[in-house]
């Protein structure tokens, strides 16, 4: 099962969109294997967005991610990386389609509600910034291992 990393950014929490976003992930058929609300440290945010360290918006982005509680999740399912990108919608709110999380709820690229990893290797890296492996529970697969007679 492919894992991805998802974060509901501070404005998603502030706007009480946690439930709305989780509902969309679950109804698509993806599994949530780990979930917690945290205050990200500057160190975590810098690691998370290391590929953007030379961009003009990097410092503001790091400050923003640390500005309030965020929800971090490990989500899995077939092609979960690509499917979560589809559910999130395009980064630029002028291009995110209605029906996507960003398309339905955001109009500013800096406040686009959700982060979701863009490749399997990035997902592994980002998960390792926010989770210990023993916090991640593959419950559906573990249910499959049991044999129920009744
Ligand atoms: P993604 O979140 O869709 O993967 P990235 O290009 O990886 O988009 O950018 C990371 C985050 O940085 C975006 O979600 C957005 O919040 C912010 N960002 C991207 N481009 C800009 C910009 O031009 N100005 C300000 N913030 C930006
Ligand atoms: Mg990205």
Q: Is the pLDDT of residue 143 over 70?
A: no
Distance of CA 89 to the CA centre of its chain: 12
State in Å: Cα 101 to ligand 1 middle: 15
How would residue 1 be classed by pLDDT, with cut points 50, 70 and 90? confident
CATH number, domain of 132, equals: 3.30.70.141
Instruction: Give me the phi and psi of 70, to 5 degrees please.
Output: -125, 155
125-137 burial by CB neighbour count: b if 16+ within 10 A, else e? Answer: bbbebbbeeeeee
pLDDT value for 29? 94
Closest to 45 measured CA to CA, from 26, 65, 30, 15: 65
Domain coverage including residue 134? 2-149
Q: Per the structure, how many domains does the chain have?
A: 1
pLDDT in tens, 19-36: 999 999 999 999 999 999
CB 116 within 8 A of CB 86: no
**Ligand 1 atom nearest 9 alpha carbon:** 16
What is the arithmetic mean of pLDDT over 85-101? 97
State in Å: Cα 122 to ligand 2 middle: 9
């Amino acid at each position: 099962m492919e894992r991805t990393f998802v974060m509901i950014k501070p404005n998603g929490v502030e706007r009480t969109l946690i439930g709305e976003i989780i509902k969309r992930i679950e109804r698509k058929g993806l599994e949530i294997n780990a979930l917690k609300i945290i205050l990200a440290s500057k160190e975590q945010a810098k690691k998370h967005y290391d590929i953007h360290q030379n961009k003009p918006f990097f410092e503001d982005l790091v400050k923003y991610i640390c500005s309030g509680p965020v929800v971090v999740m490990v989500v899995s399912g077939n092609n979960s990386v690509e499917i979560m990108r589809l559910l999130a919608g395009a980064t630029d709110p002028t291009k995110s389609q209605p029906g996507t999380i960003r398309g339905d709820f955001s109009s500013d690229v800096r406040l686009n509600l959700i982060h979701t990893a863009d490749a399997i290797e990035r997902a592994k890296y980002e998960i390792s910034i926010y989770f210990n492996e023993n916090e991640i529970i593959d419950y559906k697969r573990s249910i499959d291992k049991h044999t129920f007679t009744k």
